[in-house]
Amino acid sequence: METGAIITAVITLLVGILVLFLGVSFINGKNLNLVAGYGSMSETEKAQTDINKLGKLSGKALIVISILMFAFTAISVMFAFQFVSKSIFVFSVIVFIVAVIAVTIISVIKGMK
C-alpha cells in the first residue's frame, strides 16, 4: 500500500470524525452559530428561524455524511490492498457522491418547510 493512500485514508477518517462531532453538537443544540447562513441573518430573520430544528436537521445530515465518509474510506483501503475490484471502487465513489448530494437536497427541502 502506498504512503499516499495511507495518508489520504487517515485524513479522511479525521475529517469524518470532525464532521461526526459537529453533527452531534448541532443535534444537542450547541455551536449552532456554525450552521451555514445563520450567522449572517439579521436579528428579525433569526427571530423567525427555529434554530433548534435547523440544528437537528443539519446535524442529522452531517452524521449521515460522516458515516458515508467512513464507509468510503474503508472501501478505499480495501481497494488499495486489492481486496475489492476497480469496478466496486468506482461504484462506491459514485454512490458516495450521489448520497452526499441527496442528503444535502433533502436537508434543504426539509429546512424550507
pLDDT single digits (tens) 11-67 = 888 998 999 999 999 899 888 878 777 777 788 887 887 788 888 888 888 898 898
Largest pairwise CA distance in the chain: 56
Q: What is the dihedral of CA 29, 33, 34, 37, to 10 degrees?
A: 120
pTM: 0.74
Each domain of the chain, given as residue ranges in start order, spans 3-112
Q: 32 and 26 in contact (C-beta within 8 Å)?
A: yes
CA distance 57 to 10: 28
- Which residues, in sequence order, are CB contacts of 91 under 8 Å at separation 6+? none
